[in-house]
Amino acid sequence: MPETTQRPAAEAPVAETRKLKYGEAVNAALARLLAEVPDSLLYGEDVGKPGGVFGVTRGLRRRFGDRVFDTPISEAAILGSAVGAALMGARPIVEIMWADFSLVALDQLVNQAANARYVSRGAAPAPIVVRTQQGNAPGACAQHSQSLEALLLHVPGLRLAMPRTAQDAHDVLVAAVHADDPVIVVENRSLYFGDKAEVDLGGAPRPMGWSHLRRAGRDVTVVSWGAVAGQALAAAESLAARGVEAEVLELTWLNPVDMDAVLASAARTRRLAVVHEANVTGGFGAEIVARVAEAGIGLDAAPVRIGAPDVRIPAAPGLAAAVLPAAGPIAARIAAMTTA
């Protein structure tokens, strides 16, 4: 930490399109935000000088100086200080290195950040942005592989996004930092080092809550989010060869969630499958199914929830592969419901 510092002037975003990997798109978004939002701060464990354990924040301290810094291994202090800084008007963007680590400091998210606006009737909101990552990668263990979005989605007052593409990884962060709610952005480390894609880095901040119709189809609506949405899309492509046209709706945001798109699609196809990497019990897929049912949309087949079984995630890659949703089994489940 510096002894003294001064606030920079805002810089307008530069209209630019670049070919970037997912992790690079996050980095580009952070650079843009530090430039265009003078009150923004970026900090967390190893994000400053080391540039992040996945290299996502590399180069930002060199470019933006003291506004990018490292912290002790203290998740409660990271999240709590973000709340306090936000109450004073700062725009903290903090990293929780692995989503699993947020559990040691949930108080600051659930009792503090989510509560501040409500009790003060808007006088003292805590618009923090928490970046974290989850998901399974080969060799990870049970405390580094959990999909925890449903835990946080139960909390009124928090926003949550799970971008899958490089463009969404960029756009979600820009939307989050420009929003006045506490936002949790759950990235996925299995995506950080994937293929490069064209990313528009200059677009205006979008309102939270968008989704993508990744594939149109008449036979079944498949709702998915996060990295596993790629598996759902692959499953849909394979089903097309068997004459089943699945509509794949990818939710970038889970709160606010684009229920209008889900309901419209389910009403069209009259079949519904949800696919998430998290285990099934209490998952957000159950919420999607319940809301479709509550909307009174009649379905021609019982809805299907596809996710990990209710197990711990094993370390060995072969064991993990046996429990995580993959395109083949997803396609088989959907095929079974469409012929039912």
Partner 1 sequence: MDDTERRLADLHAMWRIRALEEKIRELRIGGEEIVGSVHLCIGQEAGPVGACTELGPDDALFATYRGHGWALARGVPAEGIIAECAGRATGVNGGRGGSAYFTAPEHGFHGENSIVGAGLPIAVGAALAGRFDGAGRVAMTVCGDGALNQGASHEALNMAAAFRLPVVFVCENNYWSELTPIDEMVGEPELWRRAAGYGMAGARVDGNDPDAVRAAVREAVERGRSGGGPTLLELMTQRLVGHYIGDVEQYRRPGELDRAREAEPIARLTGELEAAGVPAAAVEDARSRARAEIERAAAAALAAPLADPETAKDHVYA
Residues that bind partner 1 (CB under 8 A): 1-7, 39, 41, 66-67, 71-72, 74-77, 79-90, 92, 104-105, 107-108, 111-112, 116-125, 127, 156-157, 159, 179-181
**Minimum gap (Å) between residue 1 Cβ and partner 1:** 4
What is the number of other CB atoms lying within 10 angstroms of the CB of residue 62? 11
- Structure token pair of residue 311: 């197990």
51: closest CA among 27, 74, 29, 28?
Answer: 27
Judged by CB, which is closer to partner 1: 77, or 213?
77
Judged by CB, which is closer to partner 1: 111, or 339?
111
**Minimum gap (Å) between residue 130 Cβ and partner 1:** 13
Catalytic residue check, 75: yes
Q: How many CA atoms lie within 13 A of 16 on its CB side?
A: 12
Judged by CB, which is closer to partner 1: 105, or 330?
105
Which of 24, 45, 95, 144 is catalytic? The answer is 144
**Minimum gap (Å) between residue 75 Cβ and partner 1:** 8
Q: Are 57 and 42 in contact (CB under 8 A)?
A: yes
Q: Are 132 and 176 in contact (CB under 8 A)?
A: no
Rounded to 5°, the CA angle 165-28-59 comes to: 130
Judged by CB, which is closer to partner 1: 89, or 243?
89
Q: How many CA atoms lie within 13 A of 337 on its CB side?
A: 25
* Cα–Cα distance, 311 to 315 (Å, whole number): 12
Which of 24, 75, 149, 250 is catalytic? The answer is 75
229: closest CA among 193, 189, 265, 277?
Answer: 277
Residues taking part in catalysis:
75, 144
